[in-house]
Amino acid sequence: MAEAIGDSSYLIDTGLYRPRLAACYLVEDHGELAIIDTGTQHSLPQVLDAIAMLGATPDQVRYVIPTHVHLDHAGGAGRLMQACQQATLVVHPKGQAHMVDPSKLQAGATAVYGEEAFQRDFGDLLPVPQGRTLAAKDLQSFDLGARTLQFLDTPGHANHHGCVFDHRSGFLYTGDTFGLGYSEFRAKGDTLLVATTTPVAFDPDAWFNSLDHMLAFNPRACCLTHFGRIDQPERHVGMLRESIQAHVAIALAEENREPEGREARLHAAVDRLLVAEGCRHSGLAEDQVRQIFANDIELNAQGLNVWLARRAKRRA
């Protein structure tokens, strides 16, 4: 079921792993539709149901816009484009090749998750014809009905990450660049935002610059893939900056230590950081918070390990 978030815009829970973990968004204007992020191929029924709920058809989808090609954001792009024959896939230039030929993306993800888990959670990735894709430049605009959507180049979480600003609603669709904002950590009215340092292209300096780029548009709200709408983003961005810096500090504390045991130490440090923050913002028990953040703890630690290896390679 799609959830209205205002201004003919809708949140769709993609159903990945658990409820309210991952979303994609549907925007409608004068009979034209845009879908921002896609979920996995298993998310297609939810997306098609949301389109039907509006009394529309897949042929009214003008744009499909994955913020980046990580599988929870773009794994369903090929199947969705098959269903929406009039749509153009708008994607970051560095991610376009992976949408046209997702074989390397699938091979890399299968190596990380294992074949069984990959098939269960994501399924085979389908290619998108080159002629139906558009590599968007920073600040490039797209008309949707009577409104304008604008693509922003926002590296940091990934070097192929873009956000989408809707000039009519003032909503900024942020993928992962505005962090993780799970609903479990909003119960006290003080939203928790934390960084997601997933492999392989974490770049804190670029991320800080991207946040400046995004907030310069003075968005009314940020719409996160993980998860939902956050109003007054200027009040929350400082918390995200602190989380990015805290992850950097964890990594740099390892830089001059022996590589042996590093992965376990990073995992433990990220666990302490996220569990402590989650408990502080929710009142939930440590075990509950650890369960909510389980995938993020693992991926954040892996990403920091990759970042350290990249720094060492540059020094060498």
Q: What are phi and psi of 101, to 5 degrees?
A: -135, 95
Task: Quote the tokens at residue 138.
Answer: 């920073």
Predicted pLDDT of residue 87: 98
Closest C-alpha to 175, from 161, 191, 189: 161
Assign 15 to helix, strand or coil: coil
Task: Quote the tokens at residue 89.
Answer: 């896939």
Q: What are phi and psi of 91, to 5 degrees?
A: -145, 155
Percentage of the chain exceeding pLDDT 90 = 90
Please tell me which residue, 108 or 57, carries the higher pLDDT value. 57
Closest C-alpha to 276, from 242, 304, 310, 309: 242
List the Cα angle 313/314/316 in 5-degree steps: 65
- Asked whether the predicted pLDDT for residue 55 surpasses 70, the reply is yes
Predicted pLDDT of residue 189: 66
Closest C-alpha to 300, from 261, 246, 234: 246
Predicted pLDDT of residue 304: 98
Predicted pLDDT of residue 315: 86
DSSP state of 303: H
Residues contacting residue 55 through CB under 8 Å, at least 6 positions apart? none
H or E stretch including 234?
helix 233-252
Q: What are the structural domains, with CATH classification, of the chain?
A: 1-91+93-135 (3.60.15.10), 143-316 (no CATH)
The residue-averaged pLDDT of 124-149 equals 97
Instruction: Count Cβ neighbours within 10 Å for each residue of 107-137 and write b for 16 or more, e otherwise.
Output: eebeeeeeeeebeebbbebbebeeebbbbbe
Q: What is the pLDDT of residues 257-277, one digit of tens each?
A: 999 999 999 999 999 999 999
- Asked whether the predicted pLDDT for residue 1 surpasses 80, the reply is no
Distances (CA, A) of 3 to 13, 41, 49, 111, 166: 8, 20, 12, 35, 18
C-alpha to C-alpha distance for 283 and 286, rounded to whole angstroms: 9
| Cα–chain center distance at 184 | 18
Radius of gyration of the chain (CA): 19
Across the chain, mean pLDDT equals 96
| Cα–chain center distance at 163 | 9
C-alpha to C-alpha distance for 1 and 78, rounded to whole angstroms: 22
The residue-averaged pLDDT of 76-95 equals 98
Q: Given the DSSP bridges, would you call strands 2-6 and 9-13 parallel, antiparallel or unpaired?
A: antiparallel
Q: Residue 108: which pLDDT band, with cuts at 50, 70 and 90?
A: confident
Closest C-alpha to 157, from 100, 198, 112: 198
The residue-averaged pLDDT of 127-154 equals 98
Q: Residue 316: which pLDDT band, with cuts at 50, 70 and 90?
A: confident
Contact 109, 71 (CB under 8 A): yes
Predicted pLDDT of residue 110: 84
- The answer to whether the predicted template modeling score (pTM) of the entire model surpasses 0.95 is yes
C-alpha to C-alpha distance for 280 and 299, rounded to whole angstroms: 22
Residue indicated by tokens 């024959």: 85
Out of 84-93, 104-113, 152-161, 242-251, least confident range: 104-113
Strand-pairing partners, residue 25, are: 11, 36
> DSSP characters for 164-221?
EEETTT-EEEEETTT-B--GGG-TTS----B----SS---HHHHHHHHHHHHTT--SE
Surface-to-core class of residue 258, CB atoms within 10 Å of its CB (0-12 exposed, 13-18 middle, 19+ buried): exposed
Q: What is the pLDDT of residues 208-258, one digit of tens each?
A: 999 999 999 999 999 999 999 999 999 999 999 999 999 999 999 999 899
Q: What is the pLDDT of residues 173-219, one digit of tens each?
A: 999 999 999 999 987 667 899 999 999 899 999 999 999 999 999 99
